[in-house]
C-alpha cells in the first residue's frame, strides 16, 4: 500500500469510528508521525475496548487474544490494543491528546503514552528474539526522549503496575544506554564524553 492510499484508508477508518461514536486512541507508528519525522509504517495501531471492536463488522479480525487483536479494513492492517489490559486502559484515559490528521482532529497518544507502550512491549520483544522490532522500538524511544525530554522516572512508576521488577530493571538499563547515546549526540561526533 503506497503512502497516499494508506492515509486515505486510515482517514476512512477514522470517519467510520466517528460515525459509530467509538472511543479509541491512535498509537504506534502513525501516532509517532504526529511527533517526529521519518518514521515509516504500513499499519495502524489503536487502543479500544472489545465491545467497540464488535461494533465494527467492516473490520475482518484475523487473530485475537485477551490483550490484542489484529484485523484488516480494506487493505489496511490494524493492530488493536484492547482496554482489558489495565495499562492500555490507563494510556487511553490519561495519556491522550487531540492531533490533526488529514484535516481531521483525532485522539492520539501523548509522547508519554507512546513511550509507556513502547517500554511495555520491549521485554516481550526481547524474549521473542525479535531484533528488528527491538531496534525499531528502541529508536522510537530514543527519538521521543531526545525531542521531548519526558519525565522518565514518572513513566517507570507507571510501569511498575504492569511489569515485573526484573523487567523494570532491564528497561532502566536500556533507557540509561539511550540517554548516553543522546548525550553523545548532543556533544558532537568524535568529541570525548
Domains in the chain, ordered, with CATH?
3-109 (3.30.460.40), 112-187 (no CATH)
Length of the chain (residues): 193
Higher pLDDT pick, 192 / 81? 81
pTM for the model stands at 0.92
* Mean pLDDT of the chain, nearest integer: 93
CA-to-CA dists, residue 64 to 25, 29, 79, 125, 185, angstroms: 18, 20, 10, 18, 41
The pLDDT tens digits of the residues spanning 79-135 come to 999 999 999 999 999 999 999 988 899 999 999 999 999 999 999 999 999 999 999
**Nearest alpha carbon to residue 73 among 10, 119, 122, 29:** 10
pLDDT bin (cut points 50, 70, 90) of residue 156 is very high
Is 42's pLDDT higher than 90?
A: no
Question: Which of 89, 43, 90, 85 lies closest to 62 in space, CA to CA?
Answer: 43
Alpha-carbon Rg for the chain, nearest whole angstrom, is: 17
More confident residue, 41 or 124: 124
State the DSSP code for 66: S
CB 14 within 8 A of CB 23: no
pLDDT of the residue at 41: 75
Residue 146: pLDDT band with limits 50, 70, 90: very high
Average pLDDT over residues 73-84: 96
Give exposure, 91-113, as e/b (b: 16+ Cβ within 10 Å): bbeebbeebebeeeebbbbbbbb
Strand partners, 60: 72
Does the pLDDT value for residue 58 go beyond 60?
yes
In the block, cell 503512502 appears at 3
- Indicate the SS3 state at residue 45: strand
Pair 162, 87: CB distance under 8 Å: yes
Beta-strand runs (E) in 126-183: none
Residue 170 has pLDDT above 70, yes or no: yes
Region 26-33: what's the mean pLDDT? 91
Q: Closest Cα partner for 15 from 80, 93, 74?
A: 74
How many C-beta neighbours within 10 Å does residue 163 have?
20
Amino acid at each position: 500500500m503506497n503512502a497516499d492510499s494508506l492515509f486515505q484508508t486510515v482517514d476512512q477508518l477514522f470517519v467510520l469510528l466517528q460515525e459509530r461514536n467509538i472511543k479509541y486512541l491512535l498509537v504506534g507508528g502513525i501516532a509517532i508521525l504526529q511527533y517526529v519525522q521519518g518514521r515509516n509504517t504500513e499499519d495502524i495501531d489503536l487502543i479500544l475496548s472489545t465491545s467497540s471492536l464488535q461494533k465494527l463488522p467492516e473490520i475482518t479480525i484475523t487473530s485475537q487474544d485477551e490483550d490484542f487483536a489484529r484485523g484488516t479494513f480494506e487493505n489496511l492492517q490494524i493492530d488493536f490494543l484492547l482496554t482489558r489490559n489495565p495499562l492500555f486502559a490507563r494510556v487511553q484515559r490519561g495519556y491522550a491528546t487531540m492531533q490533526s490528521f488529514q484535516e481531521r482532529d483525532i485522539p492520539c497518544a501523548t509522547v508519554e503514552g507512546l513511550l509507556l507502550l513502547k517500554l511495555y512491549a520491549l521485554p516481550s520483544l526481547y524474549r521473542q528474539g525479535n531484533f528488528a522490532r527491538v531496534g525499531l522500538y528502541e529508536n522510537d524511544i530514543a527519538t521521543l526522549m531526545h525531542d521531548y525530554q519526558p519525565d522518565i522516572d514518572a513513566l517507570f512508576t507507571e510501569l511498575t503496575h504492569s511489569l515485573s521488577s526484573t523487567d523494570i530493571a532491564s528497561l532502566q538499563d536500556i533507557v540509561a544506554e539511550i540517554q548516553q547515546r543522546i548525550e553523545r549526540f548532543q556533544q558532537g561526533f568524535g568529541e570525548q564524553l
